[in-house]
Amino acid sequence: MARPGFTRHRKFVALAMAVGSRPAALGHIELLWEVAYEAGDDLLGSPAVVENMADWNGAPGVLADALVSAGLLDPSEEGLRVHDLWDHAPDYVHVRRENEVERKKPKNCEHCGGEYRSKDKRAKYCSDRCRKAAFEARRTPPDAPRRKHPSASPTDPDGSRRSPTDPDGSPAPAPAPAPAPAPAPHTSLPAGRQGGPAGPEPVTLGPLSQELLAEVSAGVGVALQPLRQQTEAEELERRIAGDFGGVEQARDFVARTCRERSEPGRPYRIKSSKLVLLMLRDVASAGGSP
């Protein structure tokens, strides 16, 4: 989505003059940005592909030449690229780009040695099967000696069991029996609770909360842990609509906060919906602007 004031920029004015319509010029460039945002890549392709992406119905080559002349696209050996995409793209696009770059790196499974790809920098195994097998191998080394059962008694050379004896050869006394455990105190549940405590009530999310959490989950590549209280779901919906004015600003703020909290080689990861709520709550509590 274009930022406020873009339609007054000299580059947009030049494009609108070339295509003969301001609404058409804005629609063409928005379609191209949408492709770049979705792919996390500034490369669009050849002029013919670019004009097809932008739904151009005019003479071939006219729109592509106008975009390059206006400075909105840059030519390269691979094709046309969006000019300075990474200086102006929303924060969630940067996260998507990092995931795509990581996914293209070949990795070797630490268990089976096979090659695989994953957008998670911490991934070590190609599948859940290899991960579980590696865990079992660490827990039970193959060369570990097997312990004898404590109830096993020594045997004579002929294989018959013999009873334990003292050093002088006399039979050892039988061990004293263990004391019986004390009876557990009897407790009864109050009336109406004889069947055990009831499970938690299901939490219903509003439409804004569903959209925001779905986009955050897609950006980080993991399913977020759900909210546990209905009051939290209502607060999240209220803050998205009131403090941020919609899903887009709230999503950009969450992505920007993750980037600020990340360290070199250790990106900050969101794992729960409650953390998203806490991020939005901090802005309102501090009185700052999202």
- The answer, as to whether pTM is greater than 0.75, is no
Looking at residue 283, its pLDDT comes to: 67
Structural domain count, the chain: 3
SS3 of residue 108 by DSSP: strand
Q: Are residues 74 and 115 in the same domain?
A: no
Q: How confident is the model at residue 49 (pLDDT cuts 50, 70, 90)?
A: very high
31, 64, 89 - which closes a domain: 89
For residue 271, tell me if it sits in a domain.
yes
**12 and 85, same structural domain?**
yes
Choose the weakest-confidence range: 20-29, 124-133, 161-170: 161-170
Please report the pLDDT score of residue 97 as a whole number: 75
Is residue 135, in this structure, part of any structural domain at all?
yes
The confidence score (pLDDT) of residue 169 equals 54
Residues 103 and 134 in one domain: yes
The answer to the question of residue 179 being in a domain is no
Q: Are 80 and 102 found together in one domain?
A: no
Residues 97 and 37: their CA atoms lie apart, in Å, by 9
Q: pLDDT value at position 101?
A: 78
Which pLDDT value is given to residue 152? Answer: 47
Same domain, 22 and 34: yes
Residue 49 lies in a domain: yes
Token pair listed for 174:
């039988």
Between these two residues, 11 and 191, which has the higher pLDDT value?
Answer: 11
The answer to whether position 185 is within a domain reads no
Tens digits of per-residue pLDDT, 123-159?
888 888 888 888 877 766 556 555 554 444 455 555 5
Same domain, 24 and 83: yes
Domain extent, residue 227, equals 207-286
Last residue of some domain: 89, 123, 158? 89
Last residue of a domain, one of 122, 139, 156: 139
Regarding whether 99 and 83 lie in a shared domain, the answer is no
Whether 71 and 83 have beta carbons less than 8 Å apart is answered as yes
The 10 Å CB-count burial string (b at 16+, else e) for 260-271 is eeeeeeebeebe
Is 159 in a helix, a strand, or coil?
coil
Q: Are residues 83 and 98 in the same domain?
A: no
Q: Give the model's pLDDT for residue 48.
A: 92
In a shared domain, residues 11 and 70: yes
109 near 126, Cβ under 8 Å?
yes
Model pLDDT for residues 200-255, shown as the tens digit of each residue: 678 888 888 888 888 888 877 778 888 888 888 888 888 888 888 888 888 888 88
Rounded Cα gap, residues 267 and 95, in angstroms: 10
Q: Is position 176 within any domain? A: no
- Tell me the pLDDT of the chain averaged across its residues: 77
Is the residue at 167 inside a domain?
no
Q: Are residues 220 and 275 located together in one domain of the fold? A: yes
Residues 72 and 99 in one domain: no
**pLDDT single digits (tens) 68-109:** 998 989 999 989 998 887 777 777 777 777 777 788 888 888
- Residue 221 has a pLDDT of 76
For strands 73-75 and 107-108, give the pairing: unpaired
pLDDT band of 182, cuts 50, 70, 90: low
Does 193 reside within a domain?
no
Q: Which helix (H) or strand (E) holds 116?
A: strand 115-116
Clarify whether residues 40 and 105 are in a common domain.
no
Residue 46 pLDDT class (50, 70, 90 cuts): very high
Confidence of residue 177 (pLDDT cuts 50, 70, 90): low
Sheet holding 80-82, edge to edge: 43-45, 80-82, 73-75
